[in-house]
Structure 1
Amino acid sequence: MIVSFKKHSSLIGLLFFIVSCSIHKTLPTKNTTPHKTVTGIQSHIRPSQPTDFKTGADNFESYLPLLKDKKVGVISNQTGILTNGTHLVDFLVANQINVQKIFAPEHGFRGTADAGELIIDGKDAKTGLSIISLYGSNKKPKPEQLEGIDILIFDIQDVGARFYTYISSLHYVMEACAENNIPLLVLDRPNPNGFIIDGPVLEKEFSSFVGMHPVPVLYGMTIGEYAQMINGEKWLKDEVQCNLNVIPCVHYDRNASYHFSERPSPNLPNDQAINLYASLCFFEGTNVSVGRGTDKQFQIYGSPFLPNTGFSFTPEPNLGAKEPMHKGAICYGEDLSTIEPVNQIELKWLIKAYNTTEDKTKFFIPFFTKLAGTNTLQRQIEEGFSERKIKKSWKTGLDQFKEIRKKYLLY
Structure 2
Amino acid sequence: MVSYSFLLGGVKFPKVKNTVLFSFILMAACGNSVKEKTKDNRPEIIDNTQPAISNTIQAEAIKTGADNFEAYLPLLKNKKVGIVTNQTGIVTLNGNNTNVVDFLLDKKVDLKKIYAPEHGFRGTADAGELIKDGKDTQTGLPIISLYGNNKKPKPEQLEGIDVLVFDLQDVGARFFTYISSLHYIMEACAENGIPLILLDRPNPNGGIVDGPTLEKENTSFVGMHTIPTMHGLTIGEYGKMINGQKWLKNGVQCQLTVIPCLNYKRTTTYSIPVKPSPNLPNDQAINLYASLCFFEGTNVSLGRGTNKQFQVYGSPYLPNTGFSFTPAPNEGAKDPQYNGKVCYGEDLSKYPKVNRIELKWLIKAHNETADKSKFFIPFFTKLAGTTQLQQQIEAGKTENEIRESWKPGLEEFKKMRKPYLIYGE
- TM exceeds 0.5? yes
What do the CA deviations read for 1:258-288 (whole angstroms, capped 9, x no partner)? 1111000000001100000000000000000
What secondary structure is seen at the aligned counterpart in 2 of 1:333? strand
Structure 1 position 49, deviation (Å): 3.9
Structure 2 residue identity aligned to 1:95: K
Q: Residue 41 of structure 1 aligns with which residue?
A: none
Q: Residue 54 of structure 1 aligns with which residue?
A: 63
Identity %: 70
Structure 1 consecutive aligned stretches of length 4 or more whose deviation exceeds 6 Å: none
Structure 1 position 52, deviation (Å): 1.9
What is the CA–CA distance in structure 1 between the aligned matches of 2:78 and 2:255, rounded to whole Å?
Answer: 19
What is the CA–CA distance in structure 1 between the aligned matches of 2:61 and 2:395, rounded to whole Å?
Answer: 50
| Mapped contact 1:26–1:260 kept (Cα < 8 A) | no
What secondary structure is seen at the aligned counterpart in 1 of 2:113? strand
| Mapped contact 1:49–1:253 kept (Cα < 8 A) | no
What is the CA–CA distance in structure 2 between the aligned matches of 1:390 and 1:225, rounded to whole Å?
Answer: 28
| Mapped contact 2:52–2:284 kept (Cα < 8 A) | no
Q: Residue 79 of structure 2 aligns with which residue?
A: 70
Structure 2 residue identity aligned to 1:162: R
Structure 1 residue identity aligned to 2:139: T
What is the CA–CA distance in structure 2 between the aligned matches of 1:400 and 1:31, rounded to whole Å?
Answer: 34
Q: Residue 358 of structure 2 aligns with which residue?
A: 346
What secondary structure is seen at the aligned counterpart in 2 of 1:82? strand
Gaps of 5+ in 1: 1-23, 33-46
Q: Residue 215 of structure 1 aligns with which residue?
A: 227
What is the CA–CA distance in structure 2 between the aligned matches of 1:221 and 1:186, rounded to whole Å?
Answer: 14
What secondary structure is seen at the aligned counterpart in 1 of 2:337? coil
| Mapped contact 2:285–2:310 kept (Cα < 8 A) | yes
Structure-2 change in CA distance of 1:337 and 1:72 (3 Å):
same
Of 162, 165, 178, which residue of structure 1 is paired with 2:174? 162
- Trace 1:100-111 onto structure 2 (pairs within 5 A): 100-111=112-123
What is the CA–CA distance in structure 2 between the aligned matches of 1:194 and 1:407, rounded to whole Å?
Answer: 18
| Mapped contact 2:169–2:201 kept (Cα < 8 A) | yes
What secondary structure is seen at the aligned counterpart in 2 of 1:393? helix
| More strand as a share of residues | 2
What is the CA–CA distance in structure 2 between the aligned matches of 1:251 and 1:382, rounded to whole Å?
Answer: 46
Gaps of 5+ in 2: 1-45
Q: Residue 281 of structure 2 aligns with which residue?
A: 269
Q: Residue 79 of structure 1 aligns with which residue?
A: 88
User: RCO greater where, 1 or 2, for CA within 8 Å and sep 6 or more?
Assistant: 1
What is the CA–CA distance in structure 1 between the aligned matches of 2:300 and 2:223, rounded to whole Å?
Answer: 21
Structure 1 position 82, deviation (Å): 1.0
Of 316, 328, 332, which residue of structure 1 is paired with 2:340? 328
| Mapped contact 2:47–2:282 kept (Cα < 8 A) | no
What do the CA deviations read for 1:346-372 (whole angstroms, capped 9, x no partner)? 000000000000200000000000000
Structure-2 change in CA distance of 1:121 and 1:25 (3 Å):
farther
Structure 1 position 48, deviation (Å): 2.7
Q: Does 2:385 align with 1:373?
A: yes
Structure-2 change in CA distance of 1:29 and 1:256 (3 Å):
farther
- Trace 1:2-401 onto structure 2 (pairs within 5 A): 26=48, 28=51, 30=53, 48-83=57-92, 84-401=96-413
Structure 1 residue identity aligned to 2:88: T
Structure 1 residue identity aligned to 2:167: D
What secondary structure is seen at the aligned counterpart in 1 of 2:164? strand
How many residues align? The count is 374
